[in-house]
Structure 1
């Protein structure tokens, strides 16, 4: 069985003491591919170091909306230059975050639009971070013609109505630890309706740890728990979910 963790942060400081062991844990759990996400001036270089070190780790790089206010002249060009690396497979995570009040909305909007424009220029998929900004995310994706490149709605938390709008623009929906929570009614209902060929799974480790380890540090190995929950919701076996989501991830990110 092969699993694909399509969104993780293995370079996070939470793994500084045992990063190699955590990566080995994932491999032992059947995780054959991981996408590490670099999202600011500190994590983009550490992400690139990981992809140079491990042949099964790939990169998504971009500028996170929480850090949008810190984006400087030249940073977009820097990201563009790194996108020529064969293991950089997406621009992300980019998007809007209205929960954490760290960057003004107008700045978040500008930085998001710039990065969608870069993705279209380079013909690369995007990975979207959306927290409490469903209406504006859909509006900007439409206006910037993001459907021309498509991508992934990371850790999807919106309604089925929002999901349909994203699916119609060619996006995949990715689900993580929250689908294992007893009270997570909406993401479970949405996942149940997502077409199998648009479904991805992730951990977002070290965050969003699935049950029964909620409250502890998350790891990429726990993507198996996400897969088990997705299989139960979809009414199929674990092997099928693993096969389908891995194939979807490889196709979406152009990994051979």
Structure 2
């Protein structure tokens, strides 16, 4: 079994000091590749450094909606240069977060749209953060016509109707540990209905640890438990889900295996 953690934060201060050990533990659980996701200038740089340090790691760089106030001309210039790095496979995580409204929604919209345009110019997919902002996230993606670059709705936490709406825009849907929680029935249904060639898995570590580790610190290796949960909902084997999500992640990130 080979699993690709399509969205993890091994560059986070909590995980970074023991990155090597987490990578080794992940491999023992079948998680052989992972995308390290940035969200501001510091974390973007660390994502790229890790990706160059380990062959099986890749970087996603961009400005999280809660870091949108930091996205000035200098940050945009640096991000544009980073997109040319061969280990950078997407722009992210970008999007909208209305949960606490740390940054004004108008600013979030502007930075989200600007980074989508940068992704188009670079020919890279996008990794999209959406928290309590389904309608506006959908409207911005639809207006931007992201079908030419595709993208990922990361850590999807909606119902099948929303999953299909994003899929119809050409997006992929990625499921985190939330899909393993007992009471997230709508997410279970979405994981069951998402086409096998458009589904991804992730940890979003160190956050959102899946069952049986819910409430504890997450790590990339725990992608295995999300794979197992999705396999149960779809009445299939973990091997089938692991293989499909692995191939899907390679495809959307444009990774060619030797």
Aligned equivalents of 2:186 and 2:222: distance in 1?
A: 21
CA contact (8 A) 1:141 1:147 kept: no
Offset, 1:30 = 1.2
Q: Where does residue 197 of structure 2 map in the other structure?
A: 197
Find the counterpart in structure 2 of residue 235 from structure 1. Answer: 235
After TM superposition, the score normalised by the length of structure 1 is 0.98
- C-alpha displacement of 1:224: 0.4
How large is the Cα RMSD of the aligned pairs? Answer: 0.9
**Relative to 1, partners in 2 of residues 1:16 and 1:248: Cα closer, same or farther, differing over 3 Å?**
closer
1:119, 1:127 → 2: CA distance?
A: 10
**Partners of 1:246 and 1:17 in 2: CA distance:** 27
Q: Is the 8 A contact 1:5 1:33 kept in 2?
A: yes
**1:18 CA displacement:** 2.2
TM-score, normalized by length of structure 2?
0.97
CA contact (8 A) 1:5 1:201 kept: yes
Distance 1:27 1:159 in 2: 32
Runs (4+) of structure 1 moved beyond 6 Å?
none
Structure 2 unaligned regions, length at least 5:
none
Contact 2:10 2:16 in 1 (8 A): no
Deviation at 1:2, TM superposition (A): 0.5
Contact 1:65/1:112 (CA < 8 Å) preserved in 2? yes
Partner of 1:106: 106
Q: Name the stretch that deviates more: 141-150 or 29-38.
A: 141-150
Indicate if the aligned counterparts of 1:125 and 1:253 stay in contact, CA closer than 8 A: yes
Moved more, 66-75 or 49-58: 66-75
Output the CA distance in 1 between the equivalents of 2:64 and 2:250.
23
Aligned residues: 256
The CA deviation at 1:251 is 0.6
